[in-house]
Structure 1
Amino acid sequence: MSEALYTLATACQHAEDIRKSRFLAQAVPVEDPEQALAVVKAVSDPAATHNCWAYRIGQDYRFNDDGEPGGTAGRPILQAIEGQGIDRVVVVVTRWYGGIKLGAGGLVRAYGGTAAECLRLAERVPIVAMARLQLRCDFAGLALLKARLRELEAEVIDESFDAEGVELAIRLPESRVGEAQARITDISRGRYSARRVD
């Protein structure tokens, strides 16, 4: 599979009634498997017949049929994610059984189709490759450094203080790393430099 270049801008949902069963697909952008599983738990309806799901985060993926016949729910949801070229997403399709059996092919179409339509309607955003930098600076330069790095879409993800100064961990778009390193050297007149840690 070629690497997906998009994720979802925000959570979305799409519902369909298929032969008296109600199917609700809920798609949520996620950063890691733990977050994906937390979303599954949060949006699943314990009163529903089935809460089937799949996620893809880079090369990491999982799916679950939640009691439907093997391969008729979770895998079609995952195929819908891949077919739409979306990454860093979890999709939960909840089914309330309406009394008419759909058969294996009908289930595959219902779960995969509801998930695919949900993702097709969702607002997408490009995935930006991110990098991490680590650097030390003195207290006097901290405020200016943070302000100038924010201009490069950098965010401070960790800072620890000691008697000599501050250790910063920064996350920023991969494409801005060189510019950020040059800016850090400029601001400090060469006293501090940032190294990549990812």
Structure 2
Amino acid sequence: MTFTPYLVPAASVVWEQEIKKSRFITYLAHTPDADAAKVFIEQIRAEYPDARHHCSAFVAGAPNDSQALGFSDDGEPTGTAGKPMLAVLQGAGIGEITAVVVRYFGGIKLGTGGLVRAYGSSVNGALAELSTTEKIIEGRLALSADYSDMAQLENLFTQSGAHWEQLDYGVMVSGVLRVDIRLLNSLAQQIKDRTQGRVIARPLTD
């Protein structure tokens, strides 16, 4: 699992160009996982049922996660569409992103080199319009505390940017905190120190 924050799309983008009478309509969207990527690809296919090709590429996780990649030439010659599209996405260093390029054939063949350039430049053009936001990778801490310790703990949580995923008020206050994973171990230690060892925060791995 990556600990480093990475950029993800903040909003969807549509960008279009024409090359030798062929229309290339490019869609970019935030897709947090492979299932979301496949749903998005099918949505664009359904929106343009009369197009000859709906080529796609996705990075369905962190930018450097080689297990989260996919692409399709969708009828174009092998290696001329999906692969160059994926190469552009990977070069941008953006995660959780899917690109779909819809092509309406204009009657003039572009050749394999022309197709590679057309699909790559289509994704590049759309990326130039894309706004991004930073995704913080969070870890989780489980803890239980006396009510008397909560005031100083809540101050600590606010300072570290931690927030409750789950919170229960019973005989004790118990719950699960989410925090930037890079701060996980230091926050657990600070919780222990601030309460003289009365509260032990346990990292969750599931």
Give the TM-score normalised by structure 1.
Answer: 0.77
How far apart are the structure 1 equivalents of 2:105 and 2:40? 22
Aligned match of 2:41: 40
Q: 2:79 aligns with which of 44, 61, 71?
A: 71
Q: Letter of the aligned partner of 1:130 in structure 2?
A: E
- The alpha-carbon deviation at position 114 of structure 1 amounts to 0.5
Mean alpha-carbon deviation: is it higher for 75-84 or for 146-155? Answer: 146-155
Unaligned runs of 5+ in 1: none
Match of 2:138 in 1: 130
Kept after mapping to 2: 8 A contact 1:54/1:91: yes
Over 3 Å counting, the alpha-carbon distance change for 1:172 and 1:107 in structure 2 is same
Partner of 1:20: 21
Report 1:180-191 matches (<5 A). Answer: 180-182=187-189, 184-185=191-192, 190-191=197-198
CA contact (8 A) 2:20 2:108 kept: yes
2:88 maps to 1:87: no
Aligned to 2:176: 169
Aligned in 2, Cα 1:163/1:23: closer, same or farther, shift over 3 Å? same
Number of the residue aligned with 1:8 = 9
State the AA in 1 paired with 2:122.
T
Larger CA deviation: 173-182 vs 27-36: 173-182
Cα distance in 2 between the residues matched to 1:141 and 1:37? 47
Partner-residue secondary structure (3-state), 1:77: helix
Q: Rate the CA distance shift 1:46–1:156 in 2: closer, same or farther, 3 A.
A: farther
What's the secondary structure of 2:183's corresponding residue?
helix
Which amino acid is the alignment partner of residue 80 of structure 1?
Answer: V
Shift of 1:170: 3.2
Q: Which amino acid aligns with 1:63?
A: F
Measured at CA, do residues 145 and 78 of structure 1 come closer, stay the same or move farther in structure 2, by a change above 3 Å? same
23 and 183 in structure 1: CA distance in 2 versus 1, 3 angstrom threshold: same
Cα separation, partners in 2 of 1:174 and 1:91, compared to 1, 3 Å: same
Distance in 2 between the 1:168 and 1:38 partners? 34
* 1:183–1:79 Cα change, 3 Å: same
State the match for 2:31 in structure 1. 30
Q: What is the aligned partner in structure 2 of residue 194 from structure 1?
A: 201
Question: Percent of pairs identical after alignment?
Answer: 31
The answer to whether the 8 A contact 2:57-2:70 is kept is: yes
Structure 1 residues 113 and 183: CA distance shift in structure 2, 3 A? same
* Range that drifts further, 11-20 or 42-51: 42-51
Within the candidate set 79, 89, 96, 2:104 is matched to 96
Structure 2: stretches of 5+ with no match in the other structure: none
